[in-house]
């Protein structure tokens, strides 16, 4: 008579299976849910730390092999996801803005303009949402707001509770931008304190609701808006955008220096306009040199999240109000954005696990 397989045997077997990114076993990570054993059949749910996990097939194979060693003949795995909330980082004693419903705040910045930072921010947000996450995008570039045009809407936000303004919803994500309140041709001739006050008002007075990720598209450079957000908002970390050009690579080092000074961890670096593939012959051309982003990431000791090719369709998609990931999700450039978004989600999951579920202090020490 065959011995009956127990739930404890199943869990012991699954303790031998690691999440490939987090490098810890699935049971210790709390990812195994609703285990049911019926004879030699086992059913359970794996609750991923991000819906954007690219390694489900690896985990399924490892689980099946581990369970086969204890006599399980049939395995049925259900997949779920729950984005973990990281311990947010902030600098300065005034860092008191907490967006309770937002699990992770990611700043997207660059050392200079013209590197495609807003395009990267928009398409990363769409890629995360496409994988099943709840995502919002804040356009913090008050002098040059581009999100309304990129998403094809200039709808004016309204309030439903007389206290908070509701974001605009487009292409599956929530949006907020100064461009929703002023005419496209209106110049924002504001000094630093007004800029900072407006951004903080967006953070406090917008009904962000429940979000897995809030992507903040920063202005280029290292000015008042960047410092105000970094010092007042509790954030998960930052993504830096560069191109392979030496000038851009030099400027990204200054952006890294700013984030270091205000105690905001850099989650990774993205190289935009990395190369061009001729649509007629398929030949790759490195117009602005190549590999500089990866070298810069190594020099700055930050993760390299990936490269995005130079593609005319990206510009056309943004001008038409439908960003690339929404318009042509199967294209090479959209797949590059999606891969980078998944890498980013993985880095955030790892940070959440290192935080121990939010048990570290919420405030960093005041910067020097």
Burial 126-163 (b: 16+ CB within 10 A, else e): bbbbbbebbbbbbbbbbeebbbbbbbebbeebeeeeee
Strand partners, 217: 108, 139
| pLDDT value, residue 359 | 36
Burial 74-103 (b: 16+ CB within 10 A, else e): ebebeeebebbbbbbbbbbeebebebeebb
Instruction: Domains for the chain: give ranges and CATH numbers.
Output: 7-81 (3.30.300.130), 105-354 (3.40.50.300)
- Cα 255 versus chain centre, distance: 18
| pLDDT value, residue 98 | 76
Per-residue tens of pLDDT for the chain, all 368 residues: 456 889 999 999 999 999 887 888 999 988 999 999 999 999 999 998 888 677 788 999 999 999 999 999 999 999 998 888 876 665 544 556 778 899 999 999 887 777 889 999 999 999 999 999 999 999 998 888 999 999 999 999 998 888 889 999 999 999 999 999 987 777 777 776 788 888 888 888 999 999 999 999 998 877 778 878 877 888 899 999 988 876 667 778 888 888 888 888 999 999 988 766 666 676 676 666 666 788 888 888 999 999 998 887 787 787 889 999 999 999 989 999 999 999 999 889 888 877 664 333 322 333 23
Q: Both tokens of residue 67?
A: 């369970």
pTM of the model: 0.84
Report the C-alpha gap between 320 and 66 in whole angstroms.
50
Report the C-alpha gap between 22 and 15 in whole angstroms.
14
Quickly list DSSP for 51-116: TT-S-HHHHHHHHHHHHHTTT--EEEEEEEE-PPPPPPB--STT--B--TTBS-EEEEE-SSSSS-
Within 185-323, strands assigned E span 213-217, 237-242, 266-271, 276-277, 284-285, 304-307
> Distance between terminal CA atoms of the chain?
71
| pLDDT value, residue 102 | 93
């Amino acid at each position: 008579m065959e011995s009956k397989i127990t739930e404890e045997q199943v869990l012991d077997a699954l303790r031998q299976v690691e999440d490939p990114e987090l490098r810890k076993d699935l049971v210790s990570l709390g990812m195994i849910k609703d285990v049911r054993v019926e004879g030699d059949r086992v059913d359970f749910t794996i609750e991923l730390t991000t819906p954007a996990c690219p390694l489900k097939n690896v985990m399924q194979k490892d689980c099946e092999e581990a369970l086969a060693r204890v006599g399980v003949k049939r395995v049925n795995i259900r997949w779920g996801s729950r984005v973990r909330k990281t311990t947010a980082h902030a600098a300065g004693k005034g860092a008191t803005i907490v967006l309770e419903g937002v699990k992770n705040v990611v700043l997207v910045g660059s050392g200079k303009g013209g590197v495609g930072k807003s395009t990267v921010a928009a398409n990363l947000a769409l890629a995360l949402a496409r994988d099943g996450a709840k995502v919002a995008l804040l356009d913090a570039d008050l002098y040059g707001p581009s999100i309304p045009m990129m998403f094809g809407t200039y709808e004016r936000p309204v309030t439903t509770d007389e206290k908070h303004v509701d974001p605009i919803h487009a292409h599956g994500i929530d949006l907020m931008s100064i461009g929703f309140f002023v005419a496209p041709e209106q110049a924002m001739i504001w000094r630093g304190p007004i800029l900072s006050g407006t951004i903080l008002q967006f953070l406090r007075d917008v009904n962000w609701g429940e979000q897995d990720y809030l992507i903040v598209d920063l202005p280029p450079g290292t000015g008042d808006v960047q410092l105000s957000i970094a010092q007042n908002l509790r954030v998960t970390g930052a993504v830096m955008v560069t191109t392979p050009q030496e000038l851009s690579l030099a400027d990204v080092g200054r952006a890294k220096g700013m984030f270091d000074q205000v105690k905001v961890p850099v989650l990774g670096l993205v190289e935009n306009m990395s190369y061009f593939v001729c649509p007629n012959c398929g030949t790759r051309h490195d117009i602005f040199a190549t590999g500089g982003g990866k070298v810069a990431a190594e020099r700055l000791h930050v993760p390299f999240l990936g490269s995005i090719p130079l593609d005319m369709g990206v510009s056309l998609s943004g001008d038409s109000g439908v960003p690339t990931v929404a318009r042509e999700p199967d294209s090479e450039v959209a797949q590059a954005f999606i891969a980078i978004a998944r890498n980013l989600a993985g880095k955030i999951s790892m940070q959440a696990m290192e935080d121990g579920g939010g048990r570290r202090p919420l405030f960093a020490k005041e910067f020097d």
